[in-house]
Structure 1
Amino acid sequence: MSGRILITAGASGVGRAMAEAFDAAGAQIWVADIDAKALADCPSHWKQSQLDVSDETSVAATFIDIETEWGGIDALCANAGIAGPTAAVEDVALTDWRACHSVNLEGTFLCSKYAAPIMKRQRSGAILITSSTAGQYGYPNRAPYAAAKWGMVGLGKTLAMELGPHGIRCNVICPGSVEGPRMEGVLQREAIAKGMTRDQVYSGYASGTSMGCFVQAQDIANMAVFLASDAARLVSGQVIAVDGHTVNPDPKL
């Protein structure tokens, strides 16, 4: 596929898998990430910006650079996010709640805010929001994260309605439990919160899906490439889980 693709948190994890998949499909890649070291490890032909998605000045500057260098943008993968605290709701500090929402929900809003005018001028574009199955179900001990991810689903559906008349599509991808360092941290924290071992928590997450497995970052990337492509030209306003079919988001072991 041809196209100019911006991926936030694109230097590692799911974002890196997305960048590699779009690159393999023939797209031009721009990765934006807060982690300078991870950016330095990216291929030299990818354009890049160090970006804090919770900082509006930083987001605005990135989109100015994109429009200056590319003249437009065909797809935004609003993928940046943090796990937030794992704790009973009464033990969640307001500062941690706000930090989680600032990156996940407000960061997605800011990137969409600055992508929309560019896409409106060109009368085309796709916005892909990485939410979570936590944006479809309640998750005990993950109140800040789940609330932010639910908000991202609502934002995505609203953007699809608002921007559709301008030829712009918006869809929300809801990954399940993705193998990798970020999920490993969640497993360790949840094991402590629940008085369980890490392996028990891991097995619980896996057994909570009908397919009995975790998701690979490549599975999310494959969905992103499809949703940004002409093959999905009439797919908009959808919330698509890539999770092995979650049947019980909080299995009791």
Structure 2
Amino acid sequence: MAQRVMITAGASGIGLAIAKAFANNGAKVSVCDFDERALGEVAQFHPQISAAHVDVSNEKAVDQWFDKTMGDLGGIDVLVNNAGAKGPTGNVEDIALDDWRQCVSVCLDSHFLCARRAARPMKEQKSGNIINISSTAGLYGYGLRTPYAAAKWAVIGLTKSLAIELGPYDVRANAICPGSVEGPRMQRVIKAEADGRGISADVVAKEYTQSQSIKRFVTPEEIADMCVFLASPAAKMVTGQAIAVDGHTETFHIGS
């Protein structure tokens, strides 16, 4: 039977790569996203992927998406919590509480809201996979990006706790910690840091890759490959893990 997969923030970047990878493996895939323009382009990439406009930090919107999508798919086998926000860039004393809360709401609350809805049906069918997208920032911390780093650390705590709760039902939960992933979002992160530090974007970009054993950015497809593996029978005893896909971070990049 085809896997039934739900992916948040799946209309572009890492999320779209994950959606395409599952669809290419024969899964039935539904994505949601807040970016209406990107949602309009999803069908052009793969007609098997359904899409919906959802604010995943909003409890009611998440519940409505799950109610409709689980009805359309006939259930859920895989949840990929990919939604995130880069949050503000700056010294902690300069960060506004509203900016902190908005970042944590998207990066953490959305994972909780979706995992909460996926847990019951997965427990009832005694199978399923929850894959949370954290970050190497959730392993090392991240100077000038404290809201983002705090949320990504919390995602790992959520993941390990889910693994404990759901393991007796043969439901697995893992976190993927991408390093620096190539694409427009990373370019925006680099520009914001460069502007804040008064240096060029090229210098900041080089700092990121020089801190890795494999000195290049990760591709979205490499994150997608790990998601497909974790949701496969080949990983049936892998749960509660925070797995870095980052070319091996030797010294984590810390802006100053």
Number of the residue aligned with 2:14: 14
| Map of 2:67 onto structure 1 | 64
Tell me the distance in 2 between the aligned counterparts of 1:251 and 1:153: 20
Give the TM-score taking structure 2 as reference length. 0.96
Aligned-residue sequence identity (percent) comes to: 51
1:4 and 2:7 correspond: no
The offset of 1:215, in angstroms, is: 0.6
Q: Which residue pairs with 1:102 in the alignment? A: 105
Specify the alignment match of 2:32 in structure 1: 32
2:141 corresponds in structure 1 to 138
What's the offset of the Cα at 1:120? Answer: 1.3
**2:130 paired residue number:** 127
The Cα offsets for residues 56-76 of structure 1, whole Å up to 9 and x where unpaired, read as 000011111122122210100
Q: Is the 8 A contact 2:142 2:254 kept in 1?
A: no
Query: Which residue in 2 is equivalent to 1:112?
Result: 115
**What does residue 250 of structure 1 align with?**
253
Alignment partner of 1:48: what SS?
strand
Structure 1 segments unaligned to the other structure (5+ residues): none
Query: SS of the residue aligned with 2:7?
Result: strand
Q: Deviation digits for residues 216-250 of structure 1, max 9, x if unmatched?
A: 10110000000011111111001000001011112
- Stretches of structure 2 lacking an aligned partner (at least 5 in a row): none
SS in 1 for 2:42: coil
SS at match of 1:41: helix
Larger displacement relative to structure 2 (41-50 or 237-246): 41-50
* Native 8 Å contact 1:207 1:251 kept in 2: no
- Written as runs of structure 1 = structure 2, the 5 A alignment for 1:1-253 is 2-43=2-43, 44-250=47-253
Query: Aligned letter for 2:235?
Result: A
Tell me the amino acid that sits aligned with residue 20 of structure 1.
Answer: K
The CA deviation at 1:41 is 0.8
Give the letter aligned to residue 75 of structure 1.
V
Alignment partner of 1:179: what SS?
coil
CA distance in 2 between partners of 1:122 and 1:140 (Å): 43
- Provide the aligned length of Structure 1 versus Structure 2: 253
Cα distance per residue 1:180-223 (max 9 Å; x no partner): 11111110011122221100000000001011111110110000
Distance of aligned partners of 1:237 and 1:150 in 2 relative to their CA distance in 1, 3 Å threshold: same
Q: State the AA in 1 paired with 2:67.
A: I
Kept in 2: contact 1:72–1:122 (CA 8 A) = no
CA RMSD of aligned residues (A): 1.3
